[in-house]
Amino acid sequence: MNEHEFEPVPGLPETLPPGEQLLWQGAPRWQSLAIGAFHARKVGLYFLALIAIDGGVSLASGRPAGAVAISAAGLVVLASAAVGLLALLAWLTARSTLYSITTRRLVMRFGVALPMTINLPFTVIESASMRTRGDGSSDLPLVLMRGSRIGYLITWPHVRPWQFARPEPMLRAIPDGEHVAGLLAAGLAASVGTAPAAAAPDRAQQVPPRTSELTAAA
């Protein structure tokens, strides 16, 4: 049995109301999540430096080469286990995540052990921006109107890093960032009755402030 079989529409907690259409759905690229969110590459480099330093110090102190090799092999096993665990967590996170954009809102379904769904009507989104990574994937953080809040810890890693005071939900490591940014720009513009701004990397799509409500369902 799939943990999301209860969904009437994949990624959505309920059937869309009349007049609302699903425009796009997508999930994070797990390899990008492993590097950007779970820092698997940094952990691997840390162990690589640890192996080099330990080996150099041991050889300089006169320790037998065989003993140094055994110690290095143990660290390699430990490093492989750590990086492999982070990669597995990234894969599970990507597998359990589905972002959806409709004509009225953004819906984020995520959670490996405890699935959650966050509904973000375009009227509670103040602005959106896009950052493209070297592997071609993109992060799209969203600034919410004041008074609309999400929990940083329960939303991580689908939230902009280090924004604790005013957490920003984020579509993370998606492969078609420019297309999604265009849909968001059009949706935000439509919510205030203006023409959509052209989507551009590393530039926020601004809309006039409006007051609405943010809903989250577990």
DSSP type of residue 118: E
Which H helix or E strand runs over 23? Answer: strand 22-26
| Residue 212 tokens, joined | 């609405």
Q: Which residues have C-beta within 8 Å of that of residue 134, sequence separation ≥ 6? A: none
Cα dihedral across residues 132, 133, 136, 139: positive or negative:
negative
| Residue 72 tokens, joined | 């290095």
| Residue 5 tokens, joined | 């079989």
pLDDT in tens, 38-65: 999 999 999 999 989 888 888 888 788 8
Average pLDDT over residues 151-168: 91
The whole-number pLDDT of residue 211 equals 32
Distances (CA, A) of 119 to 47, 101, 136, 176, 183: 40, 10, 27, 21, 16
Q: Are 123 and 174 in contact (CB under 8 A)?
A: no
pLDDT in tens, 64-79: 888 888 888 888 999 9
